[in-house]
Amino acid sequence: MQVIGFAGYSGSGKTTLLEKMIPRLVAAGLDVAVVKHTHHDVDWDVPGKDSYRHRQAGARQVMLAAGQRRLLVETLPGSNDLSLADHVARLAPCDLVLAEGFKHAPVPKIEVINHALGSPRLFPDDPMVIAVVADGPVDTSLPYFQRDDVDALCQFLLDYLNRHVEHFPLR
């Protein structure tokens, strides 16, 4: 599985960008997974439901299995914040993992910039940044894409994978 990160500060447009890219990457024949990092504690469960009661009773993992999907909740010890590699290792095999967030993970990444935020940049200090997507001009020697130029960005990503990954199964 190949991992490409999409990094930027909250509100930069990472989720919206990935939402537009995923159908194009799937249409190119890739089996795509997403790992999204959040700093917020999330809980999909509802007090009183069976799965909630199982967790409250002490089960470390609870899977809710339905006809079309399944949800797995795993309680991590203490305030553990696992690495991107640890999360990717839990995925079923696929062609490409898009990692949203994980700004400092040691994977090739595309930086997403919203100028209105005034946030610090990852490039040029992070050598893992391979391209930049922004809502306006950026002074960089890296490949640069306007946020709405999704087709060009997807083509760049497919070309990058073909150049940098041996035997990448692009169909």
Beta bridge partners of 88: none
Angle, CA 96 vertex, CA 123 and CA 145 arms, to 5°: 40
Please give the chain's pLDDT, 171 residues, in tens. Answer: 899 999 999 999 999 999 999 999 999 999 999 999 876 566 677 788 888 889 888 888 888 888 998 888 887 776 667 889 988 998 999 999 999 989 999 999 999 999 999 999 999 899 999 999 999 999 999 999 999 999 999 999 999 998 887 644 443
Give the list of residues 6+ apart from residue 22 with CB closer than 8 angstroms, or none: 32, 34, 98
Taking all residues of the chain, what is their mean pLDDT, rounded to a whole number?
89
pTM of structure: 0.86
DSSP output for 72-114: EEEPPSTT----HHHHHTTSPP-SEEEEES-TT-SS-EEEEE-
pLDDT in tens, 7-22: 999 999 999 999 999 9
What pLDDT score was predicted for residue 169? 46
pLDDT in tens, 100-112: 989 999 999 999 9
The domains of the chain, with CATH numbers, are 2-42+81-164 (3.40.50.300)
